[in-house]
Amino acid sequence: MAVLDILGAIITLIGSLFLLLGSIGILRMPDVYNRMQAGTKATTLGSMMFLLGLGISYIECGCIGRIVVLILFILFTNPISSHALARAAHHAGIKLADVSIRDCLKDDEQEQEGASV
Q: What is the pLDDT of residues 18-54, one digit of tens each?
A: 999 999 999 998 888 888 888 899 999 999 999 999 9
pTM: 0.81
Helix (H) or strand (E) holding 69: helix 64-91
CB atoms within 10 A of CB 99: 8
pLDDT per residue over 58-78, tens digit each? 888 888 899 999 999 999 999
pLDDT: which is higher, 102 or 77: 77
Question: What domain range is 58 assigned to?
Answer: 2-116
Domain count of the chain?
A: 1
